[in-house]
């Protein structure tokens, strides 16, 4: 510890003990620092310090006054200990705040805990410390005898403090462990009950699943059966279809011829119908073309016009030539030279030329006469006649007649072909072929219908299989019913065990009370010298009362007796405890006479595992027991005044 209460600077105390020497003795004068050392241990463990009147002391006032005056604001206590083979290092430090006037105005405390060198988180530290020594039971192990002197009266009511003390005693005796088992069993009963209810629900769901699986299996089976039947039927029909196709293939040529014949006959019939129709149309056209002769005349006139035009053209050409020839001949007579060779014309030739000229003139005159009939008259007449003609109808009739001729042209060929086919088909059963064809068409339809059935059943089958897969997976995932019986049994066992543990807790509590009572009585008897007391009696509240030899409860008034009873209880609890903790006893002998003091020391030397005794220096150990007692002391420390009355130091005392 550093600068804690009267201890200035760093002070270190070793509490470890050697085998056979379980005592650490710390001596000090009154107000020198024994209780401060006790407070240092308590403050380090739980962060709380109490003054002599059991009131809490604020942390900032735990800092040594001189250290504070020297400007030091921090103090610290560090505790090293082991528990259940785990090593702990607990450090609690406090930083004190100063106000403007330099007075202590508050503090900040920080705590560090390492377990086996692992740092424990700050929030978990109280939990770990209470596991080592729960604060509620610490009063029996960190025993300030000033506080415990009125122990008997403390437990005799239902106050919070009394309940805490009783609870602490039960804790020491290990009763809560049994209670926690009983409570755990109760929870197991509740849990298993819930699990059974859940199982029941799951089983119900499972039954539903089984029913659904059965339904789907039936559906699947039906669909499969239908599918197989349809597939077989399909195979049969396809086979029949193939047979029909095969038969038809064998007579394919005849079939083709029949088809051809049928086509030709149909064509013929259609042509005849068409010819009839065309003829009717011609009749109608003829009826409408009653002036047909006029039309013929128009055509005649047009022909004449074309002939006359041609003739006129020829005449015009010929006339031009003749006129040219005449001119040439006339020039020859004038020039007396041949128009062709330019030689002088002989007289004979002149005459011939004159004659030729005369002929030409006659011909020209003749050719210059108008044509009869004249072109103009022909054109006029043709135009006049055309007003009465309907050349379009004639064209229609001609077109219709052409169509009839075309149709009629094809007919002989077809008739010939039909005749040839008829000869080829002699001996062929046309009805049979027709029947086969009808059967094949029917088979096609049947195959189509069966195909629809197959597709439908196939879909049903696939759906059923899909649904079954899902249901089976759910069924497999569902909890197995094999554990149902086990859970019921577990619940029954837990329920019975809970009742047994309830009874066990009560019995164990009675037994432990008896044990504490017995141990306390033995310790009390060992510590005392009086023979007037028969025993210490424990009551329902763990209160210890003295019973005299007559069996009457003895209402003692002595503070010393109260302290012996308290020490008896502490040592009895330590002896009966579920766990063994070190004892730190602050001024245990304050009210005890020498005999009791010696007996306490003897007892601690003999029975305790580790006891730290904080005693007054004035409390001398009797010479009778001291040599033996010292053998059981591992170390003795002496608390002394430091350089200043406000300072104390603690140091190993040299053995004399």
Supply the minimum distance, in Å, between the C-beta of residue 607 and other proteins. 13
Supply the minimum distance, in Å, between the C-beta of residue 172 and other proteins. 10
Select from 10, 30, 82, 459 the one that contacts other proteins (CB under 8 A).
82
Residue for token pair 């019995």? 507
Stretch 155-194 residues interacting with other proteins (CB under 8 A): 173-175, 177-178, 180-181, 183-185, 187-188, 191
| Three-class secondary structure of residue 109 per DSSP | strand
Question: Can you give the length of the chain in residues?
Answer: 656
Residue whose CB is less far from other proteins, 120 or 547: 120
Q: Which x/- pattern, by CB under 8 A, does the window 250-289 give for other proteins?
A: ----------------------------------------
Does residue number 495 form part of the binding site for other proteins (CB under 8 A)? yes
Select from 231, 515, 636, 640 the one that contacts other proteins (CB under 8 A).
515
Residue whose CB is less far from other proteins, 120 or 284: 120
Does residue number 578 form part of the binding site for other proteins (CB under 8 A)? yes
Sequence-ordered strand ranges (E) for 462-557: 533-538, 544-548, 553-554
Residue whose CB is less far from other proteins, 201 or 579: 579
8 A C-beta contact, residue 614 and residue 38: yes
Supply the minimum distance, in Å, between the C-beta of residue 143 and other proteins. 14
Supply the minimum distance, in Å, between the C-beta of residue 21 and other proteins. 14
Residue whose CB is less far from other proteins, 80 or 318: 80
Q: Which stretch binds other proteins (CB under 8 A): 67-75, 214-222, 449-457, 580-588?
A: 580-588
Q: Which stretch binds other proteins (CB under 8 A): 95-103, 129-137, 363-371, 554-562?
A: 129-137
Does residue number 499 form part of the binding site for other proteins (CB under 8 A)? yes
Does residue number 91 form part of the binding site for other proteins (CB under 8 A)? no
Does residue number 489 form part of the binding site for other proteins (CB under 8 A)? yes
DSSP H or E stretch at residue 2: strand 2-4
Does residue number 613 form part of the binding site for other proteins (CB under 8 A)? no
Of 55, 70, 87, residue with least CA distance to 2: 70
Supply the minimum distance, in Å, between the C-beta of residue 38 and other proteins. 14
Residue whose CB is less far from other proteins, 84 or 99: 84
Select from 245, 331, 580, 622 the one that contacts other proteins (CB under 8 A).
580
8 A C-beta contact, residue 34 and residue 617: no
DSSP H or E stretch at residue 632: none
Most distant pair of Cα atoms in the chain: their distance: 223
Tokens representing 400 are: 């219709």
Does residue number 136 form part of the binding site for other proteins (CB under 8 A)? no
Supply the minimum distance, in Å, between the C-beta of residue 578 and other proteins. 5
Hey, CA dihedral for 558, 561, 562, 563, is it positive or negative?
positive
Of 592, 655, 644, 650, residue with least CA distance to 34: 650
Q: Is the preceding peptide bond at 373 cis, omega within 30 degrees of 0?
A: yes
8 A C-beta contact, residue 120 and residue 128: yes
| Three-class secondary structure of residue 480 per DSSP | coil
Provide the phi-psi class of 3: left if phi over 0, else alpha when psi is between -120 and 50, else beta: left
Helices (H), 251-346: 252-288, 292-335
Q: Which stretch binds other proteins (CB under 8 A): 209-217, 304-312, 573-581, 597-605?
A: 573-581
Does residue number 490 form part of the binding site for other proteins (CB under 8 A)? yes
* d(C-alpha 184, C-alpha 189), whole Å: 9
Does residue number 132 form part of the binding site for other proteins (CB under 8 A)? yes
* d(C-alpha 204, C-alpha 212), whole Å: 12
The number of residues that bind other proteins (CB under 8 A) is 52
Supply the minimum distance, in Å, between the C-beta of residue 646 and other proteins. 30
* d(C-alpha 371, C-alpha 304), whole Å: 12
- Exposure string for 432-469, b = 16+ CB within 10 A, e = fewer: ebeebeebbeebeebbeebeebbeebbebbeebeebbe
Tokens representing 100 are: 């403007």
Sheet of strand 544-548, all strands in order from the earlier edge strand to the far edge? 533-538, 544-548, 553-554
* d(C-alpha 112, C-alpha 116), whole Å: 13
Q: Which stretch binds other proteins (CB under 8 A): 1-9, 308-316, 547-555, 578-586?
A: 578-586
Supply the minimum distance, in Å, between the C-beta of residue 175 and other proteins. 8
Does residue number 83 form part of the binding site for other proteins (CB under 8 A)? yes
Does residue number 507 form part of the binding site for other proteins (CB under 8 A)? yes
Residue whose CB is less far from other proteins, 17 or 450: 17
Residue whose CB is less far from other proteins, 31 or 180: 180
Tokens representing 185 are: 């069993």
8 A C-beta contact, residue 542 and residue 166: yes
Does residue number 504 form part of the binding site for other proteins (CB under 8 A)? yes
Does residue number 137 form part of the binding site for other proteins (CB under 8 A)? no
Contacts for 159 with CB less than 8 Å, ≥ 6 apart: none
Q: Which x/- pattern, by CB under 8 A, does the window 350-379 give for other proteins?
A: ------------------------------
Hey, CA dihedral for 243, 247, 248, 253, is it positive or negative?
positive
* d(C-alpha 137, C-alpha 146), whole Å: 16
Of 139, 137, 135, residue with least CA distance to 127: 135
Q: Is the preceding peptide bond at 44 cis, omega within 30 degrees of 0?
A: no
Q: Which stretch binds other proteins (CB under 8 A): 229-237, 311-319, 378-386, 483-491?
A: 483-491
Residue whose CB is less far from other proteins, 15 or 291: 15
The site for other proteins (CB under 8 A) is made up of 15, 81-84, 127-128, 130-133, 173-175, 177-178, 180-181, 183-185, 187-188, 191, 486, 488-490, 492-497, 499-501, 503-504, 507-508, 511-512, 515, 576, 578-582, 609-610
């Amino acid at each position: 510890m550093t600068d804690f209460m009267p201890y200035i600077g760093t002070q270190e105390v070793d509490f470890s003990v050697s085998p056979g020497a379980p005592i650490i003795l710390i001596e000090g004068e009154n107000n020198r620092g024994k209780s401060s050392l006790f407070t240092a241990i308590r403050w380090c463990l739980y962060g709380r310090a109490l003054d002599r009147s059991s009131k809490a002391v604020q942390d900032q006032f735990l800092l040594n006054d001189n250290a504070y005056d020297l400007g030091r604001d921090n103090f610290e206590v560090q505790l090293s200990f082991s528990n259940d083979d785990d090593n702990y290092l607990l450090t609690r430090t406090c930083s004190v705040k100063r106000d403007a006037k330099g007075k202590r105005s508050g503090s900040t405390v920080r705590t560090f805990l390492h377990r086996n060198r692992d740092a424990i988180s700050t929030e978990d530290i109280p939990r770990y410390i209470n596991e080592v020594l729960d604060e509620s039971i610490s009063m029996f192990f960190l025993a300030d005898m000033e506080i415990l002197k009125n122990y008997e009266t403390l437990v005799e009511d239902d106050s919070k403090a009394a309940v805490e003390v009783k609870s602490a005693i039960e804790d020491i005796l290990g009763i809560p462990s049994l209670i926690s088992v009983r409570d755990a069993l109760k929870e197991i009963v509740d849990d298993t009950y819930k699990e059974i209810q859940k199982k029941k629900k799951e089983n119900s769901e499972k039954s539903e699943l089984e029913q659904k699986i059965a339904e789907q299996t039936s559906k699947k089976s039906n669909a499969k059966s239908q599918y197989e039947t349809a597939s077989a039927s399909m195979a049969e029909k396809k086979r029949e279809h193939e047979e029909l196709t095969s038969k038809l293939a064998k007579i394919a040529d005849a079939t083709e011829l029949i088809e051809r014949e049928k086509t030709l006959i149909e064509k013929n019939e259609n042509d005849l119908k068409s010819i009839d129709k065309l003829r009717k149309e011609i009749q109608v056209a003829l009826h409408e073309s009653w002036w047909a002769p006029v039309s013929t005349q128009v055509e005649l006139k047009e022909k004449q016009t074309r002939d006359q035009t041609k003739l006129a053209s020829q005449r015009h050409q010929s006339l031009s030539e003749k006129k040219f020839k005449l001119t040439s001949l006339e020039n020859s007579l004038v020039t007396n030279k041949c128009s062709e060779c330019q030689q002088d014309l002989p007289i004979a030739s002149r005459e011939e030329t004159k004659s030729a000229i005369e002929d030409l003139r006659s011909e020209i005159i003749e050719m210059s006469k108008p044509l009869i009939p004249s072109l103009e008259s022909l054109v006029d007449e043709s135009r006049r006649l055309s007003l009465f003609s309907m050349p379009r109808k004639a064209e229609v009739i001609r077109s219709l007649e052409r169509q009839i001729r075309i149709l009629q042209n094809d007919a002989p060929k077809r008739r010939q072909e039909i005749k040839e086919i008829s000869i080829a088909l002699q001996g062929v059963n046309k009805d049979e072929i027709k029947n086969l064809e009808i059967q094949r068409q029917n088979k096609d339809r049947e195959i189509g219908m069966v195909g629809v059935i197959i597709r439908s059943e196939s879909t049903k089958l696939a759906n059923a299989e899909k649904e079954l897969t899902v249901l089976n997976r759910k069924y497999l995932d569902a909890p197995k019913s094999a554990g149902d019986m086990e859970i019921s049994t577990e619940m029954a066992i837990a329920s019975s065990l809970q009742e047994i543990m309830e009874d066990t807790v009560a019995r164990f509590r009675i037994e432990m009370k008896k044990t504490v009572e017995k141990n306390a009585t033995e310790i009390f008897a060992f510590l005392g010298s009086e023979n007037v007391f028969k025993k210490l009696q424990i009551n329902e509240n763990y209160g210890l009362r003295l019973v005299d030899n007559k069996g009457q409860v003895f209402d003692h008034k002595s503070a010393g007796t109260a302290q012996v009873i308290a020490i008896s209880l502490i040592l009895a609890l330590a002896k009966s405890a579920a766990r063994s903790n070190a004892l730190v006893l602050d001024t245990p002998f304050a009210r005890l006479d020498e005999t009791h003091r010696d007996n306490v020391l003897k007892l601690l030397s003999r029975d305790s595992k580790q006891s730290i005794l904080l005693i007054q220096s004035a409390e001398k150990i009797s010479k009778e027991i001291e040599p033996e007692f010292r053998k059981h002391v591992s170390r003795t420390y002496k608390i002394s005044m430091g350089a200043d009355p406000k300072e104390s130091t603690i140091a190993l005392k040299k053995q004399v």
